Amino acid sequence: MAISKKFLKSKPVCKVRFEVPKDQVENGDAIYLVGDFNDWDENSIPMKKLKSGNFTVTLDLEVGRDYQFRYLAGSDSWFNDNDPDRTEMTHYGDAENSVVSV
């Protein structure tokens, strides 16, 4: 998995690109990016499937913040990014979330 960041000079925004390789996905019909940037809405940020089979989406995130997130494949297969900036325990204490810092 890959996260790339592009900081804009004209706005306090960072374009963050999230990409999930096809070999990391067991249920690859649909993948959603879910996190505190979308109030953990499981359906609001679908990832686009590329010709390569990878999935990607780019978000404009406000700089100076950390964002917790996870990926959702299908309706119940949650997984983390393989290379986040760090991880944090969920407030439920039953799993970790990936964290991206911008």
CB neighbourhood size of 68 (10 A): 20
pLDDT for residue 23: 82
What total number of domains does the chain contain? 1
**pLDDT, tens digit, for every residue of 28-69?**
678 999 999 999 999 999 999 999 989 999 999 999 999 999
Helices (H) and strands (E) in the chain, counts: 0, 9
- For 81, the domain range is 2-101
Task: Return d(Cα 95, Cα 26) in angstroms, integer.
Answer: 19
pLDDT for residue 91: 81
Q: State the CATH number of the domain containing residue 80.
A: 2.60.40.10
